[in-house]
């Protein structure tokens, strides 16, 4: 409804408020000014005007009262009209001010507080989230209690350079990746004004590894494992026998074992490619686990390899140093992942199909997406072949002289 508002009109409207809902009257003397009255008796002044070169904006001027009546509302509307004609956008200014206040508050948080948020909102959803948090925490240890706004690119670079100078090339690259992801996330939420990790240079170019320990070298590693004691020897031998990833064996739980079926079953949230995976246990692998079960007593639960009962074993870098010392200076540098490469090479050389070896390793399929039939076949149809491959591998690993007839098909 449109009409020229006056004190008399307002009195009449207030006296005859609507039974339900609300009414709105537009002032013809000051276009854009509106008087809104609800059934509860609440009266409010509104003003709407298009900003020059911008959008149409609605403003709530205030509640109608003796102190803020028609004259005051028209004066306020006129001021807004002048500002709009000059391109002044109060709504945009108010929003920008609010955002700046929020950003200022966000930047007042410490590095530790922002890292906790990052962990809660992002890292906790990743399978490698715990490892990522440790990388960031250790890299920024001396900066954790500083306001994150004071964190500088030089602080990030120093952490990367310290790893690189210790000749931990791969670790330096991983630290860089973790810090870059963290600062990108923090900048996206205004905890820092800009992404300070955006242009961090990569310390080293990583080449695809081609290290494939020979069967003789695998024998040497196997023999050395017995000198590591009962804590680290069994998981290392199980790692060799199953050809699985380190975290999937070191973090193995009793609930993931089926002794009757001689298998390990991992759910998708426990594997690198997020795919459910079943691993056959050869006789030597099963024997290792049976011995551990017997030592653990009746009905063991939780992690198999643990010192706390709550978390899996950690600190393999020190154990690896012991292994290297046992193997001698002439032993070519190697890492745990190379054991998987040795398995794949040895199997294919002995006639195991590549796709079977790949399924043992739980590699994701490459190329075009498989059909529904192919997906089911890949999960279930190769279990027998995978078991034969791991049995063959166990014979190669545990026998001093392994004369094995090639398997085809």
**pLDDT tens-digit profile of 282-310?**
999 999 999 999 998 877 889 999 998 88
Quick one: average pLDDT of 81-90?
Answer: 93
The span from the CA of 173 to the CA of 164, in Å, is 8
Q: What is the CA radius of gyration of the chain?
A: 34
Quick one: average pLDDT of 9-34?
Answer: 93
SS3 assignment, position 35 = strand
pLDDT over threshold 80, residue 273: no
The span from the CA of 43 to the CA of 22, in Å, is 10
* Confidence band of 208 (pLDDT split at 50, 70, 90): low
Is there a contact between 39 and 19 (Cβ–Cβ < 8 Å)?
Answer: yes
Is there a contact between 119 and 133 (Cβ–Cβ < 8 Å)?
Answer: yes
Can you give the pLDDT at residue 371?
A: 42
* Confidence band of 107 (pLDDT split at 50, 70, 90): confident
- Secondary element (H or E) of residue 46: strand 43-50
* Confidence band of 274 (pLDDT split at 50, 70, 90): confident
* Confidence band of 364 (pLDDT split at 50, 70, 90): low
The span from the CA of 230 to the CA of 292, in Å, is 9
SS3 assignment, position 285 = helix
Name which of 33-47, 94-108, 248-262, 375-389 the model is least confident about: 375-389
SS3 assignment, position 357 = helix
pTM above 0.75, yes or no: no
Can you give the pLDDT at residue 121?
A: 93
The span from the CA of 30 to the CA of 77, in Å, is 8
pLDDT over threshold 80, residue 150: yes
Can you give the pLDDT at residue 115?
A: 95
Quick one: average pLDDT of 326-350?
Answer: 92
The span from the CA of 238 to the CA of 116, in Å, is 35
| 225-253 residue pLDDT tens | 999 999 999 999 999 999 999 999 999 99
Quick one: average pLDDT of 41-66?
Answer: 94
- For 202, what's the count of Cα atoms within 13 Å in the CB-facing half-sphere? 7
Quick one: average pLDDT of 209-221?
Answer: 87
Can you give the pLDDT at residue 190?
A: 87
pLDDT over threshold 50, residue 348: yes
Can you give the pLDDT at residue 126?
A: 82
* Confidence band of 408 (pLDDT split at 50, 70, 90): very low
The span from the CA of 305 to the CA of 313, in Å, is 6
Quick one: average pLDDT of 85-90?
Answer: 92
pLDDT over threshold 70, residue 312: yes
Long-range pairs for 22-25: beta carbons < 8 A, 24 or more residues apart: 25/1
Name which of 30-39, 270-279, 337-346, 385-394 the model is least confident about: 270-279
Query: Percentage of the chain surpassing pLDDT 70?
Result: 91
Query: Percentage of the chain surpassing pLDDT 90?
Result: 68
Per the prediction, the chain carries an average pLDDT of 88
The span from the CA of 409 to the CA of 389, in Å, is 11
Can you give the pLDDT at residue 369?
A: 44
What's the burial of 285, exposed, middle or buried (CB within 10 Å: 0-12/13-18/19+)?
buried
């Amino acid at each position: 409804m449109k009409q020229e508002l006056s004190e008399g009109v307002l009195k009449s409207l207030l006296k005859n408020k609507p039974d339900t809902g609300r009414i709105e009257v537009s002032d013809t003397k000051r276009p854009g000014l509106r008087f809104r009255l609800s059934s509860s008796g609440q009266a409010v002044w509104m003003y709407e005007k298009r900003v020059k070169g911008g959008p149409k904006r609605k403003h709530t001027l205030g509640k109608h009262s003796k102190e803020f009546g028609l004259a005051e509302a028209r004066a306020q509307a006129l001021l807004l009209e002048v500002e709009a004609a000059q391109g002044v956008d109060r709504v945009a200014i108010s929003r920008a001010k609010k955002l700046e206040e929020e950003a200022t508050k966000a930047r007042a948080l410490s590095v530790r507080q922002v890292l906790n948020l990052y962990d809660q909102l992002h890292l906790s959803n990743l399978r490698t989230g715990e490892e990522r948090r440790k990388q960031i925490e250790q890299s920024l240890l001396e900066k954790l209690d500083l306001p994150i706004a004071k964190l500088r690119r030089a602080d990030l670079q120093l952490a990367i350079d310290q790893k690189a100078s210790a000749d931990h090339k791969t670790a330096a690259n991983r630290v860089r990746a973790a810090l870059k992801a963290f600062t990108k996330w923090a900048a996206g939420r205004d905890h820092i004004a800009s992404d300070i990790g955006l242009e961090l240079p990569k310390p080293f170019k990583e080449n695809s590894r081609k290290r494939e320990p020979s069967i003789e070298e695998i024998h040497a590693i196997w023999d050395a494992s017995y000198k590591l004691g009962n804590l680290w020897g069994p998981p290392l031998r199980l790692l060799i026998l199953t050809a699985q990833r380190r975290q999937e064996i070191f973090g193995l739980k009793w609930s993931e074992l089926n002794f009757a079926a001689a298998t390990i079953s991992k759910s998708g949230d426990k594997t690198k490619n997020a795919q459910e995976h079943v691993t056959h246990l050869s006789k030597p692998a099963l024997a290792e686990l049976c011995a551990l079960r017997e030592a653990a007593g009746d009905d063991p639960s939780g992690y198999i390899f643990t010192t706390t009962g709550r978390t899996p074993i950690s600190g393999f870098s020190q154990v690896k140093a012991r292994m290297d010392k046992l193997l001698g200076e002439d032993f070519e540098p190697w890492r745990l992942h190379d054991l998987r490469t040795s398995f794949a090479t040895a199997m294919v050389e002995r006639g195991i199909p590549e796709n079977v070896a790949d399924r043992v390793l739980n590699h994701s399929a490459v190329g075009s997406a498989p059909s529904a039939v192919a997906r089911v076949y890949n999960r279930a149809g190769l279990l027998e072949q995978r078991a034969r491959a791991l049995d063959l591998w166990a014979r190669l690993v545990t026998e001093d002289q392994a004369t094995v007839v090639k398997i085809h098909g």
